[in-house]
Each structure stands twice: as structure tokens, then as C-alpha cells.
Amino acid sequence: MKRRTFLTASLAAAASAAAARPGHACTEELRGTGDLALVIERASGSVLIADTTAHEIVHRVEGLGDLSHASAVYSRDERHAFVFGRDGGLTKIDMLRGVAVRRILQAGNAIGGAISDDGKLVAVSNYKPGGVRVFDALTLEAVADIPALWGAGKRSKTVGLVDAPGRRFIFTLYDAGEIWIADFSRGTKPEITRFRDIGDQPYDALITGDGRHYIAGLFGEDGLVHIDLWAQQPEAQRILAGYGRGERKLPVYKMPHLEGWALAAGKFLLPAVGRHELLALDAQSFREAGRIPVHGQPIFAVARPDGRQVWVNFAHPLNDTVQVIDVPSLSIVHEFKPGPAVLHIEFCPRGQEVWLSVRDADELQVYDTHSFARVKTLPAKKPSGIFMTARAHRIGL
Amino acid sequence: MRHTLNIWLLLSSMAAPTLLTAAAPPAVALEAARENALTHLVRQDCGSCHGMTLKGGLGGPLLPESLRNLDAESVASIILEGVPGKPMPPWKGQLSEEEALWIAEKLKSGFPQ
């Protein structure tokens, strides 16, 4: 890798200086990481660390470059977050000390990342140069470079990068219309399995919490793609084909996002592209199990951890609204307007509260998911993604 | 102001220089509040795909050097009509021709923060 900037020396020194001065007993009060969250501040290159028990912001970490699209994964011990920024920045953050401990610029333009099941490899899906790069989780040293080559030596943008059991990563090639599995179980040189011609312009993907089903959404045609990773010979199969019923798509102002939390009570609730609908997919048969008309074009459909509800937010210009779906009845049971530009929905691990980012109100809002009452409002600068540490223990997140 | 344009011809022409001989029309000015709102829209919402810095993402970069081979009216047309079959949507339901031209001119000369 040619362009990397290490800030390790000065950052690590600052961190340890803050922690223990010579001649003094360490007076830091011990705390856990399990109830912490990281919040992206998309316009200021900063992230917040929030305490979801105290409902407080405990740190702001600055200097993370272009976070106008950013996501994060966690180390197995929840101590560190790996933040993937749009400009190709990969920053390792100490969640307890509230500092960046390592940072590299690993590509020109990136969209997401993942961490392997053993916590040793961090992968980034890049738009430029198209492909996936893999790094050592401890040091951020380069481990592997997987150019997403297709056609006549072109490199495809990659999306939908997830971890899968057995030290694997799975990702989708947007330009090429392919899905690849990179298997690192033998070491640091991956074995690649390619599924070709899976569909037109796949824009994102999810893997289920059991690591079994990989589902990619298509932009260029009505339908999604499903791979059952437990099959003897896994195949990419079309599901929900023709869900658009021949009707013209509405203008799509923002791509939906797929996450493993789309699965609730035996059904996947998936955004329809260019329609004001959620599509219900039966998780056994992989056939349509209904559809729900909703307020706008869904961006995120996120299940409360018990699977009883799915909360949905929407694309511009209808992005001031959240709807709550009761999964057993597939009906809307609550609707409210947190404010302008609700970007992300993140549940506490047992589901009793949910955190929302309201970008254009510069607020984080916390709601009780049973009473729907707002329990806290916190200031944040143009907040977007919210990532709780419990993600450390979930396949695909 | 609206041209009948072949969008693909336009986009492919970005790869090769073209000669523009017509004089540039006077720059569009809108009400200050609307200009602020459009600046926010481009940075935050167009930025979903094009990056808040306009350096690109799923969509291509929208920096002055990226748009040098398209005149402002062509860029405005793409904004209003979208690119068929690609994720660039038509914004004509949300923006007037004048607003699209204002955005195009600003993108070409260096978009405000």
C-alpha cells in the first residue's frame, strides 16, 4: 500500500500520558465498554462517544477526515472501534480513552468495512480503487489487497462487505454485478469464490446473524439476490423478482441500506427501491410474505432486538419521519416526526431504548421503545451513523 | 434554456475536450435564503452519493475540474432529468430550472461550503 499516514507515535504517547503519570497511582475510575456508542459527526470529521446508560456524551474525537459517509466495527473486547471514512481513512479509536490510536489512509474513496470472526482482520470496501483491502486489526498493517477486477481489467466499486463465519469476508461488486467470498481461513492469502452475473447494479447487502444467508439488493432491476452459505454448492438466486410489478420507479434520492437487523420474527423486512414500500420476505421459503405501504422510500428498516417491531426511516425529502411496524401483523403502529433528516436508528442491545440521529436538528434523540416517549435529547454536530459496542459480538455487524 | 440533449453523449464528452464558442450567459442569483437551502441540499443530500466534499462516492466527482467539459446548462439538464438506468435521479420535481442552473454554475466555479 503506497499512501498511508501513521499518527501512531504521537497519538499513543498522548493516550498513555493521559492515563498514568510517573509516581502517581492510576486514578482513572474503571468503567465498562458494553453500554457505549460511537456517533459519526458527518460534517466535522469527528465522532462522539456516548454512554447509553447515563445518556451522556463522554468524548468527542476529532481529526477523522471525511466522514460524510462512515461506519464502524468493534474489536472483540469492545475496547476499540474501527471507523471507515469516505475518503479512505481507517481510524482505530480507544473507546475508553476517547482518542484515536492509529489512523491510515488506505484508499481514495471507501464505503464500509468489516472485522473477521476472530477479530484479527479488518477489511474495507473501496470505491477507488475498486476492491477490498484487509488490515491487521492490532497494527493496521496491510495484510491483503483484493482488486475487484472485471471486464477488461476494470476495477469495480465494492459494497455490502460483511464478515462470515470461518474467517471469511463477503462483498458485492456494484459495477460488475458479482458477489465474491474471500476466505482467509488458511492464513493471509485469501481464496476467492466468485458468483458472476448476479444482477444489475447491486448496491448493498446483508448477512443474517447466524452467518447463513447473504442477501444483496439490486438497483438496476426489481429483485434481490440470495446466497445460502450452508448449501453444498452455494448459488446466487434471484428472490422477490419483479416486485415493482412493472410500475415505474420513483426518483431514488438516496440508496437504501441493508443490515442484518432486517430479520424479525421469521421475516425479512426489506426496502423496495423507488417505492414507498417495505417488502416482507419469509425467512424459510424466501418468498414474498406481504408488503407494507410506508411514508416514503425506506432507507433503514431496523428490527428491535426482540424482533417484535421494525423501525423505519426514509429518504430525502420525506426524511423527517419514522414509522414503527408491528411485525406479526405487518402493520404500522406508530409514526412520529423526530425532526429534519433522521439518518440512523440504533437499538440498545436488549431493545428497551433506541437512539436516533437527526442531522439537521443537530441532535441525538433517545426513545423508550415501549412507550415511544422521548427520554433524552443530546446535541451533536450533523450526526449520522450510531454504532453501539454490542455490535462486537454479532456476525455481520 | 432547456436543450434537447443526449445524456450519454454529454457524459462521454467529459472524456474529451470540446470547444465552446458561445459567450457565457449572466450568472443566476436567487434569494439568499434559497441559496443557503440549496447549498445545504447539495452538500448534504446530493452529497449522499457525490460526497459532501463533492469528490465522489457512488456518483462521480462534481468539482470544477470534473465538470470542465460540460457547460452549466448541460449540468443543469442532468440535474433536472437524471441519468436513465443509473442511480442519478431527476430532481425536476424538487428544483426549478433556475435553481438547477444556479447549482450547475456554482458546481463549475467552486461550490460554496
Whether B7 has its CB under 8 Å from any CB of chain A: the answer is no
Distance between start and end Cα atoms, chain A: 26
Identify the band that residue B6 occupies on the pLDDT scale cut at 50, 70 and 90: low
ipTM of this complex prediction, to 2 decimal places:
0.84
pLDDT digits (tens, 9 = 90+) for A176-218: 999 999 999 999 999 999 999 999 999 999 999 999 999 999 9
Whether B111 has its CB under 8 Å from any CB of chain A: the answer is no
Q: Comparing C-alpha atoms, which of A310, A311, A354, A345 is closest to residue A328?
A: A310
- Residues of chain A with pLDDT > 90, as a percent, come to 91
Closest Cβ–Cβ partner in A66, A69, A255 for B87: A255
| C-alpha cell belonging to residue A146 | 483484493
Minimal C-alpha gap between A14 and chain B (Å): 30
Give the pLDDT of residue B29.
87
Whether B52 has its CB under 8 Å from any CB of chain A: the answer is yes
What is the rounded radius of gyration, in angstroms, for the C-alpha atoms of chain A? 20
Record the pTM.
Answer: 0.90
Whether B44 has its CB under 8 Å from any CB of chain A: the answer is yes
Query: Rounded mean pLDDT of A254-260?
Result: 91
- Closest residue in A to B51 (Cα) is A68
Identify the band that residue A27 occupies on the pLDDT scale cut at 50, 70 and 90: low
Query: Rounded mean pLDDT of A92-107?
Result: 97
Identify the band that residue B14 occupies on the pLDDT scale cut at 50, 70 and 90: low
Flag whether pLDDT at A23 surpasses 60.
no
Record: contact B53-A203, CB cut-off 8 A: no
Tell me the helix, strand and coil percentages in chain B, rounded to 5.
45, 0, 55
Minimal C-alpha gap between B87 and chain A (Å): 7
Cα–Cα distance measured from residue A175 to residue A149, given in angstroms and rounded to the nearest whole number? 10
Angle at A377 between CA A376 and CA A378, to 5 degrees: 120
Record: contact B52-A66, CB cut-off 8 A: yes
Identify the band that residue A105 occupies on the pLDDT scale cut at 50, 70 and 90: very high
pLDDT digits (tens, 9 = 90+) for A306-340: 999 999 999 999 999 999 999 999 999 999 999 99
Minimal C-alpha gap between A360 and chain B (Å): 9
Record: contact A42-B52, CB cut-off 8 A: yes
Give the pLDDT of residue A1.
44
Give the pLDDT of residue A24.
47
| C-alpha cell belonging to residue A232 | 453444498
Give the pLDDT of residue A55.
98
Average pLDDT of chain A is 94
